[in-house]
C-alpha cells in the first residue's frame, strides 16, 4: 500500500524544528531528507528513521523493524504526534550521518 501525501506532509510539519525537511517519492513511498541528509522513509503511512549508534543509545525503547520486505532495520516511530521525540531523533540521526565518511561508488 502506498503512503498518502497528507501523511508525509504531516510528518514533515512535525519535524519542522529539526531542520529543512523535504520528501522525495520513491517506488510509491517516500524518502525523507533533513538539511539534504537522507535520514528516513515513510512506508505504508508509517515513519522510519535510519539506525545509528547514537539514535539507538538515546531511544532504546523504540522498535527496530524493516520498513518493507528485504530492507535493513530502521527505527520505527509509531507515535507521529510526539513532535519532541521525532525532532530529537531526527537531529541526532542526521548529525551522526553527517559525521560518517562518505562512501564512493566504484
Residue 84 sits in a domain whose CATH number is 3.30.1460.30
Got the DSSP string for 41-79? Answer: EEETTEEEEE--HHHHHH-TTS-EE-SSTTPPPEEEE--
Residues of the domain holding 28: 5-98
Report the mean per-residue pLDDT for the chain: 93
Q: If pLDDT is split at 50, 70 and 90, which confidence band does 62 have? A: very high
Q: How many domains does the chain have?
A: 1
pLDDT class of 57 with cuts at 50, 70, 90: very high
The pTM assigned to this predicted structure is 0.91
Amino acid at each position: 500500500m502506498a503512503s498518502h501525501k497528507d501523511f508525509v506532509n504531516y510528518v514533515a510539519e512535525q519535524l519542522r524544528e529539526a531542520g529543512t525537511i523535504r520528501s522525495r517519492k520513491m517506488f510509491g513511498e517516500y524518502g525523507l531528507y533533513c538539511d539534504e541528509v537522507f535520514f528516513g522513509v515513510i512506508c505504508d503511512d508509517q515513519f522510519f528513521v535510519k539506525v545509528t549508534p547514537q539514535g539507538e543509545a538515546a531511544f532504546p525503547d523504540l522498535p527496530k523493524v524493516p520498513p518493507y520486505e528485504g530492507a535493513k532495520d530502521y527505527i520505527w516511530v509509531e507515535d507521529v504526534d510526539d513532535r519532541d521525540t521525532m525532532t530529537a531523533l531526527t537531529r541526532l540521526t542526521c548529525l551522526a550521518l553527517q559525521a560518517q565518511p562518505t562512501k564512493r561508488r566504484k
